[in-house]
Amino acid sequence: MAIKSLADQDHVGGVLTIEADASDGVGVTCVKFFKGSTLIDTDQDTPFTTSFDFNADPPDQHYQIKVTTSDHEGNEKNAMLIINKPKHDFRPPGCTLADNGAFFKVCAPYTQKISSPNSASS
């Protein structure tokens, strides 16, 4: 049992995909993903993955990610690690966060008023 997509003490932000490497001799029935003590998701199909959006979480914090597997006999195995959300806000002024965690900025270097044909003077 291991968390494949993250390493202990990784610095994270945005939307993360969390992947668990889970197997045993009896057969894994489900994998549960936790942030701290809060259940994020349950996955019953390989590959065992989930996505979590860390954008709303406060910066300069540490979060525990825990993954629990269960098998047909009721046995459970756990893996956990700590991830860090940096204190810096990486969004420059005027930027917006996309669904994939990337930031984009729309620039309008100048504006020009355009008259409509109906407003022309006679």
Residue 16 located in a structural domain: yes
- Using CA of residue 79, residue 8, residue 36, residue 34, what is the dihedral sign? negative
Q: What is the mean pLDDT of residues 29-44?
A: 95
Q: How far apart are CA 110 and CA 102, in angstroms?
A: 25
User: Residue 25 pLDDT > 60, yes or no?
Assistant: yes
In a domain, 119, yes or no: no
Task: Write down the pTM of the prediction.
Answer: 0.70
Query: Tell me, what's the pLDDT at 116?
Result: 53
Count of the separate structural domains present in the chain: 1
* Percent of the chain clearing pLDDT 90 (strictly above): 41
Domain holding 90: CATH number?
Answer: 2.60.40.10
Max mean pLDDT among 9-13, 22-26, 92-96 falls in 9-13
Domain-located, residue 109: yes
**Which domain covers residue 97, as residue numbers?**
2-113
Domain assignment present for 120 = no
Q: Is 122 domain-assigned?
A: no
- Using the predicted structure, report yes or no on whether residue 54 has a pLDDT greater than 90: no
- 30 is written with which tokens? 């489900």
CA–CA distance from 96 to each of 2, 11, 53, 55, 109 (Å)? Answer: 34, 20, 15, 11, 18
For residue 57, pLDDT over 90 is answered with no
